[in-house]
Amino acid sequence: MDLDHDDNNAQMFNHGGGGGGSRWEIEEEMSSEVQGRHGGSWAASAVAAEVEEECVYVGVGKSETSMKALSWTLKHLITSPSTMVYLIHVFPEIKHIPNPLGIGMIPKNQVSAEQIESYESQERDKRRQLLSKFLQLCSSSQVKVDTILIESDTVAKAILELVPILNIQNLVIGTNKSRKSKSRKGNNGIAEQILQNVPGSCRVRIISEGKEVNQQMLTMMSSPSPSPHGATPNSNVHNDNHLVQTPIPMKEDQDHNQNGPVSCNCFKPMFK
């Protein structure tokens, strides 16, 4: 499957953060560039045609959990030949590139534009190679597929911001069975962050080891293991039983209003 061909038909959506109204740019490389400023209702009209067909969005990345989540999706959520699968891949913003002298990384503002473009081209090739296996699985399953690329340093926040933009109603996220990852700020894992903050109109399915898990099970997987004598490892985790029995409360969608642009490249489907 040739992703280079997809690049020629790419659409880009840039969401400018900060105060004031939102600025949206639509760029289609196969036609003349169209730019405009729109209110919050633009997103709904932009994807009106997509709403008519059943769509499932699957978060994919380098982890094997992504492939298991997609396999589960193809087995359980493809209800008709018209069902469309969108692969969401979040990749970090490039702020540093390899030192031309071969020692470490340096800020990209310290090198030439040609060196930056060369490195960005290499990163694009890596993303195409990564996504090709997911696209091939969908193609071999006779399922229509499209790819959404988001440039952001915060995976959960980027996906959460995409939900109202594309009116996502079915979202699938993979997670590790023994995941205990917490950020240095103390936030829960990506799956938990999405579950806690996603709008009620979007149903999120969390897949671990090829099986769907609920929020209580996810909490158990992400909680630190108790010590042999039943003592808690630190004062921040003091009652694992309470964490398991009590659903995690929904937090305010305050992350959605944080500053920082999110850009999204939507590749046209290769399989009809």
Sorted by sequence, the CB contacts under 8 Å of residue 174 that are 6+ apart come out as 59, 63, 65, 66, 67, 68, 69, 70, 206, 207, 208
> Hey, where are the domains in the chain?
3-9+55-221+247-267
| pLDDT greater than 90 at residue 32 | no
| pLDDT greater than 80 at residue 213 | yes
User: Dmax of the chain from CA atoms?
Assistant: 68
CA pair distance 207, 179, nearest whole angstrom: 12
pLDDT band at 197 (very low <50, low <70, confident <90, very high): very high
- The answer to whether 256 and 161 have CB atoms below 8 angstroms apart is yes
Q: Which of 54-58, 153-157, 190-194, 220-224 has the lowest mean pLDDT?
A: 220-224
pLDDT tens, position by position, 48-101: 444 446 999 999 999 999 999 999 999 999 989 999 999 999 999 999 999 888
Instruction: Please tell me what DSSP assigns to residue 109.
Output: G
**CB-count burial class (<10 Å; 0-12, 13-18, 19+) for 198:** buried
Which of 219-242 are b and which e, b meaning 16 or more Cβ less than 10 Å from the residue's Cβ? Answer: bebbeeeeeeeeeeeeeeeeebee
CATH homologous superfamily for the domain 3-9+55-221+247-267? HUPs (3.40.50.620)
